[in-house]
Structure 1
Amino acid sequence: MNEILIIAAPELLEKRRDWLASLSDERRLSENTLQAYERDTRQFLKFLTGHLAEPARMSDIHTLRPADLRAFLAARRREGSGNRSLGRHLAGLRSFLRYLERKGLVNAAGASAIRTPKQPKSLPKPLSDTQAITVVGSDAQLHETPWIAARDAAVLTLLYACGLRISEALDLTPADLTPDATSLRITGKGNKTRVVPLLPAALAAVETYKKLCPYHLSENEPLFRGARGGKLQQAIIQSEMRKLRGALGLPETATPHALRHSFATHLLAGGGDLRTIQELLGHASLSTTQVYTGVDAARLLEVYDRAHPRA
């Protein structure tokens, strides 16, 4: 965890290790969130050591004041962190302090007294339906090796047809996608499981890839393989998508994740209700899904004008 770079008392570092282990083992947070929380608390302890002019100790955490936390956030802002990053910094510190409070070691009230920086309102940037269908088409793939082109088409099709996160698609195994499958059981963020329909076009793209793939695809091993046979990495698909959007003249917002946004936005435009879309996306809160209503505001206003008795 790079603790060799942290100047802090051994007892404090040990409690931090215990907290990070609990996040992984008990709360089952995603690897990205764990890495972010590890990085945020590491930066905070380094800041606190400089702030106090001596190695940070447990007693320093016990007497932590809101002013100390505000000073840390101000330092991070000077180094270029925006409100979204500052909010995550604060969330990680609050989680750590609450853990210590449950152990009877500190009082976490100081962190609760700080207002979370106002988050910028940014709407998802989906592709149009025509753009999305073009991107996932096998004819659009640029790689000269046929099985790799088929692989890329299959992955991108799953992102758009099923609303998957790229990590979810790359975690699939052949056992998840049998030739007669009609749905997919996906385990996403927070170990939350959902079932999404598997469209025939998506299954066909996967079957084409499986027939061309030169590697033996064991039932419970990764379905999508890299050029050397190992598990396909996200960076490869992201790189191929960058090449693809350049070739097709698409904006920089045309990323693999934009296909998931497109899935949700196009369902909403076609009359899908938010609760169903929430379940398909695996969002824990409806408020997360509601952001797509901002993308499709024109359609909602049209429905209102047509349907409301006083419109």
Structure 2
Amino acid sequence: MINKFLDYISVEKRYSQNTLVSYKKDLEDLLLFISETEGTEDLKKVDKKIIRNFIVSLSEKKIQKRSINRKLSSLRSFYLYLLKIGEIQVSPLETIPSLKFYAEKQIPISEEEMENLGEILESDSGNSLEKLIIETLYQTGMRKSELCNILLDQVDFSKSEISIKGKGNKQRVVPISENLLKQMREYIAIRKPNEDSGIYFFVRENGKKLSEKFVYSVVNRYLSLITLKKKKSPHILRHSFATHVLNNGAEISKVKKILGHSSLASTQVYTNGNIEQLKRVFNQAHPRAYKKED
């Protein structure tokens, strides 16, 4: 049942491999739960009471509300699929709401901190791959999963751009600076992939394809050199990229395309709390916001 559902969302919905892995894990968690508490492994027998008990058990394990909501989203998709193929008559999640929570505010790395990191990277004679990982994430705003899966032929040196396959296998093209282009050329010259990783642009010194865990570790270590902020992840570099380019006058619709957001609301998150920048733009642009010289 689970495998047929995964085949469906892979072929029909064209979900990414990362999404498939997450959905499988969420469904297997529910399967284990009903096996231990209900004595069955038949997911078609799950009802609203079982779902509520499952949510309680996740909360008792100190699973964050955001993660629980993601699991509920996976389960909703699964049971909608069972409805579609006629295996059930009512979804057990039909009236189950997502948990309410206040999202923790993401504080971007400041431009000054990133300038300090740039100086550290420039003076560091160490691992060129690790430095390139930082620069690529910060200069393009791509996700760590996207970075790990960039293929050689997706980097167009003649056009100074990268073609990125994002969520839902949606393609977007992101421009790259001359500086980043130069670093990429230098990296290609020393890159030594093994037989399995040859198609990927980024490979480790041992020849293996990058893992998301490795990328997180690299980013966390370098950001720890320049900031005391709690969040020091690849996503914070993406957040910082968006915040900095918007601060410096980039059009939000253009930033939306570069980030691969499906809606403008997702991009607008990076403008929250930026009231001083909004004041400057207002004072410069609105005819009633300043006094014209006589």
What range describes the TM-score normalised by the shorter chain of this pair?
A: 0.7 to 0.9
- Cα shift readout 1:41-77 (whole Å, capped 9, x = no counterpart): 222223223443x31436524xx2x333222111211
Distance verdict in 2 for CA 1:214–1:89, change over 3 Å: closer
State the alpha-carbon separation in 2 of the partners of residues 253 and 142 from structure 1. Answer: 26
Are 1:139 and 2:122 counterparts? yes
Distance verdict in 2 for CA 1:91–1:259, change over 3 Å: same
Counterparts of 1:163-178 in structure 2 under 5 Å?
163-178=141-156
Counterparts of 1:300-311 in structure 2 under 5 Å?
300-304=278-282, 307-308=285-286
The one-letter code of the counterpart of 1:183 is E
State the alpha-carbon separation in 1 of the partners of residues 162 and 5 from structure 2. Answer: 34
The one-letter code of the counterpart of 1:194 is R
Offset at residue 18 of structure 1 (A): 0.7
Counting matched residue pairs gives 288
8 Å Cα contact 2:172-2:258 kept in structure 1: yes
Distance verdict in 2 for CA 1:140–1:189, change over 3 Å: farther
Are 1:253 and 2:235 counterparts? no
State the alpha-carbon separation in 2 of the partners of residues 17 and 28 from structure 1. Answer: 15
Stretches of structure 2 lacking an aligned partner (at least 5 in a row): 290-294
Partner of 1:40: 26
Distance verdict in 2 for CA 1:106–1:139, change over 3 Å: same
The one-letter code of the counterpart of 1:135 is L
Counterparts of 1:229-248 in structure 2 under 5 Å?
229-248=207-226
One of 259, 265, 270 as aligned partner of 1:287:
265
The percentage of counterpart residues that share the same residue type is 29
- Cα shift readout 1:60-116 (whole Å, capped 9, x = no counterpart): 24xx2x333222111211111221112112111111110100011113344121111
State the alpha-carbon separation in 2 of the partners of residues 120 and 185 from structure 1. Answer: 35
Partner of 1:187: 165
Counterparts of 1:261-276 in structure 2 under 5 Å?
261-276=239-254
One of 57, 61, 64 as aligned partner of 1:75:
57
Are 1:24 and 2:10 counterparts? yes
Offset at residue 216 of structure 1 (A): 9.2
Alignment root-mean-square deviation, CA: 2.8
| SS of corresponding position for 2:164 | strand
State the alpha-carbon separation in 2 of the partners of residues 222 and 71 from structure 1. Answer: 43
| SS of corresponding position for 1:243 | helix
TM-score by length of 1: 0.81
Offset at residue 240 of structure 1 (A): 2.6
| SS of corresponding position for 1:127 | coil
- Report which stretch shifted further, 34-43 or 278-287: 34-43
The one-letter code of the counterpart of 1:44 is L
Distance verdict in 2 for CA 1:48–1:208, change over 3 Å: same
One of 70, 81, 98 as aligned partner of 1:99:
81
The one-letter code of the counterpart of 1:139 is E
8 Å Cα contact 2:129-2:204 kept in structure 1: no
Distance verdict in 2 for CA 1:295–1:199, change over 3 Å: farther
The one-letter code of the counterpart of 1:92 is S
